[in-house]
Amino acid sequence: MLTDILVNFTHAAVVVFGLLTMLWAISVAVKDASLIDIFWGFGFLVVGAVCLYLAIPKTPYLVLLAAMPIIWGIRLSLYLAKRNLGHGEDVRYVAMRKRAEKKGVSEIAWRLRSLFTIYFGQGVLIMIVSAPVWVAMATGTNTWEDVANSSIYNAMVSDISQYEENYKEIQIALFSILGALLWLIGFLFEAIGDAQLSKFMKTMKNYDGAYKDKPVLDTGLWKYTRHPNYFGNACMWWGIWLTACQAPWGWASVFAPIIMTLLLVKVSGKDLLERSLKRRAAYVDYISRTSGFIPMPPKIR
């Protein structure tokens, strides 16, 4: 069982870090480190696809488990590509590069450093957060190693029907059904929230007033939570973990959704984004009446 987990992990990691290296080379050529943002969802797609490729047999449970990060990865990557491409390097990475230059680091040296700190750093996070996928997809079905250690193999019985009797397939049952439903709720929150935000940003495209007076999106899902897309993302990974609990040792990957939730709330998501948004009077008012993460009815004042 441990061998199968390591096989899934190492194969997925090799592909993920190989793609990250190629993407980094492209980013150096076009001088745009923010290409990494588009890869975030795609990286999880890669993990799900590699683990599904390695799965023998590809049972309905394993297909369901792999489909969740794959579908999410496709949607998020396409959304970010449409939003980001053609707009130059993101201001976050420009600021990082300028801070490095002030310390005497050349642009070439900074680009090289970005491979390990930004690109490979994100790769490490992808592999950690996707643990429910590569753990459960390795333990969610008997492997040929299991068969080799079974009484059937030891008795040198070659009848495939007897192998099928010994084979125990993980079924789509309570945990995977609940997990899939939670994932679907999260997917809808993220997709609808992103669509509403995109529409709002288009209406604000020609806004030429002071930044502090800029209006705030507070309708639709954004009426109930200041970050419906981040909340949806967290729900999806808790759903994937719950689905993974259907398989042996899937529960042990609980650290993955915890880390993802902390990233969304305390590190690179909500808190980071709101540091600048809090300079707007309308957003300060928005904070006073709207839940920061979990959807809640807005406060009546």
Handedness of CA 142, 48, 228, 190 (dihedral sign): negative
Q: How confident is the model at residue 21 (pLDDT cuts 50, 70, 90)?
A: very high
How much is the average pLDDT of 202-208?
Answer: 84
- Which pLDDT score, from 0 to 100, does residue 157 have? 42
Query: Which of 36, 232, 208, 14 shows the shortest CA–CA distance to 119?
Result: 36
How many C-beta atoms surround the C-beta of residue 106 within 10 A? Answer: 10
Supply the pLDDT for residue 176. 95
Place of tokens 């984004």: 273
Identity of the residue numbered 173: A
* pLDDT value of position 168: 61
Task: Indicate whether 271 pLDDT > 90.
Answer: no
List of residues 6+ apart from 91 with CB closer than 8 A: none
In a domain, 296, yes or no: no
The 10s digit of each residue's pLDDT in 129-175 is 999 999 999 998 754 444 444 443 344 444 444 444 444 678 899 99
pLDDT at 108: 87
Q: Is position 300 within any domain?
A: no
Looking at residue 189, its pLDDT comes to 97
Q: Residue 67 burial (CB < 10 Å; 0-12/13-18/19+)? A: middle
**Domain total for the chain?**
1
Given pLDDT bands bounded at 50, 70 and 90, which one contains residue 204?
confident
Cα–Cα distance, 73 to 45 (Å, whole number) = 5
The reported pLDDT for the residue numbered 301 is 66
Q: What is the pLDDT of residues 215-241, one digit of tens each?
A: 899 999 999 999 999 999 999 999 999
Residue 131 falls inside a structural domain: yes
pTM of the full structure: 0.87
Model pLDDT, residue 151 = 44
DSSP 34-92: THHHHHHHHHHHHHHHHHHHH-SS--HHHHHHHHHHHHHHHHHHHHHHHHHTTS-S-HH
Q: Is residue 45 part of a domain?
A: yes
Per the structure block, which two tokens stand in for 33? 């480190």
- Percent of the chain topping pLDDT 70: 91
Residue 120 lies inside a defined structural domain of this protein: yes
Q: What is the mean pLDDT of residues 271-277?
A: 84
- Residue 173's domain comprises 2-289
Tens digits of per-residue pLDDT, 41-69? 999 999 999 999 999 889 999 999 999 99
Share of the chain above pLDDT 90, in %: 63
Residue 59, in any domain of the structure: yes
